[in-house]
Structure 1
Amino acid sequence: MERERLTQRQNEAYEFIRGYLVRNRKPPTLQEIGDALGIASTNGVYKLLQTLEKKGWIEREKHEARGIRLTDHEQDPLGRSGGPPSLPVVTRTVSDEPERLRERPERMLSVDGHLLRRAQDPDACLIGRAGDDGMNGAGIRKGDLLLIEEMDWSDLENGTLAAALVREQLLPREFEFANRKIHLRPADRHYTDETFPPDHPGCHIIGRLLALIRTL
């Protein structure tokens, strides 16, 4: 299907989205688009995205904060067509700078798309290394590659296996929110529970674990 031409403003929005995907391996939010383009109202951004979708340049998923996909599959920086998805293997990042998590990936790793079948947003997925043996009782060992779907801690259910940045370590743990605090529970008796207020700089919940990748 031939797409309609874009105005200068519409093209600016499209190119920002495209560039953001290349840099961050995930789509931007409405707020991030508005900040970049100087649009104060998220409603203004919403209408701009509506036009891009109507003209055939993007697709959007309802009720998803980052639910934007480019329709130009041949040039899609996320590689959603023409082979398995490629995800960044993130390097060590301190917990009070989570925005830097995707800045300098160790490498990109192609994964079987089947591993992403439970992901609400495959574009929000990344890979990190387990920083300790705290979940040894659940079969996760230090150095294992963890397939993680980034999401806010408030979207996680209690009992979910999650990944967290705790100071400078990426740790798999069982997540629980109780008494207005985040509890990270290990599955090895040699490790202890850790508890943090949601805004504590020493802890950032990356998201939920989807799969474990291990080399023998």
Structure 2
Amino acid sequence: MSLVAQLTQKQRRFYESLRKHIIETGESPTTNELMACMNLSSPRAVTQYLSVLEKKGLIFREKHAARGIRLREYADAVETVNIPVIASAGCDNVSVLAERNFGDFICVASDLLCGKRRDDVVSIKAIGDSMVDAGVCDSDYVLVELTQAVSDNDLVVTIVDHCAVIKKIQFANNAIVLHPVSSDPQYKPIILQRDYRIFGRVIDVIRMPQKGDLDIVPLYSSY
């Protein structure tokens, strides 16, 4: 009998949801994410499920890590890369981006780079809610390919009047327009008539539900 077959129906559903999250995102979910996904009312319930799975030999947990759950079958299969965190879109001076003067890295599954060279991808923290309907929320980290070769309706990072903004780009009637993607009427399109520079194209979004959920690695880490 397989290890999964030894689980109860609820335990198996919990394990399958956990496994699906890790395989699709390349990282383990946090306790809060598991509570929401499984409709559990307390962190203790999550801990109890994880303890059962660990005793059954299906997972192991790294101590003192917000995303420290590892699948026994999958722990060695996920290749990760460190991507530099260089700025916050919406409030940083252009010199921060131009100099690429960064000191932090974010560890992500290499599959999220979509085949791009690691040196051509950076991470930027999103500030504000103007892109929530495109899946980019306040305090998320976006992975950005450093390129000016963008297409209509791409999500891009653009430098406008010395500030970095994340918007959907459209080319029409000899004009370039940066659109918010939000139902909130306070956010308006930006017509690029001023000094601007396309910095890169968003290739993925890293969700950060709460403080401490994202693994930020110092540049001179001893690990």
Alignment TM-score, normalising by the size of structure 1: 0.52
Q: Please, which runs of 5 or more residues in structure 1 have no aligned partner?
A: 1-82
Of 180, 192, 195, the residue aligned with 1:196 is 192
- Conserved 8 A contact 2:86-2:97: no
Alignment partner, residue 126 of structure 1? 122
**Deviation, structure 1 residue 147:** 0.5
2:179 is the counterpart of 1:180: no
- Conserved 8 A contact 2:176-2:191: yes
Equivalent pairs counted in the alignment come to: 126
1:96-115 correspondence to structure 2 within 5 Å: 98-100=97-99, 102-103=100-101, 105-115=102-112
Q: Please, which runs of 5 or more residues in structure 2 have no aligned partner?
A: 1-78, 210-223
**Deviation, structure 1 residue 98:** 4.5
Moved over 6 A (4+): none
Task: Give CA deviations for 1:100-151 in whole Å, capped at 9, x if unaligned.
Answer: 2x12x140122110101253x4321000011221111222112210000010
Alignment partner, residue 152 of structure 2? 158
- Conserved 8 A contact 1:91-1:106: no
1:1-216 correspondence to structure 2 within 5 Å: 84-92=80-88, 93-95=92-94, 98-100=97-99, 102-103=100-101, 105-119=102-116, 121-152=117-148, 155-188=149-182, 189-197=185-193, 200-201=194-195, 203-216=196-209
- Conserved 8 A contact 1:161-1:172: yes
- Conserved 8 A contact 1:98-1:204: no
Q: Distance between the aligned counterparts of 1:180 and 1:96, measured in 2?
A: 29
Q: Distance between the aligned counterparts of 2:94 and 2:131, measured in 1?
A: 19
3-state DSSP class of the match of 1:148?
strand
- Conserved 8 A contact 1:163-1:171: yes
- Conserved 8 A contact 2:135-2:205: no
Instruction: Give the CA RMSD over aligned residues.
Output: 2.2
Task: Give CA deviations for 1:62-95 in whole Å, capped at 9, x if unaligned.
Answer: xxxxxxxxxxxxxxxxxxxxx6221110125424
- Identity over aligned residues, as a percent? 23
Q: Distance between the aligned counterparts of 1:215 and 1:112, measured in 2?
A: 15
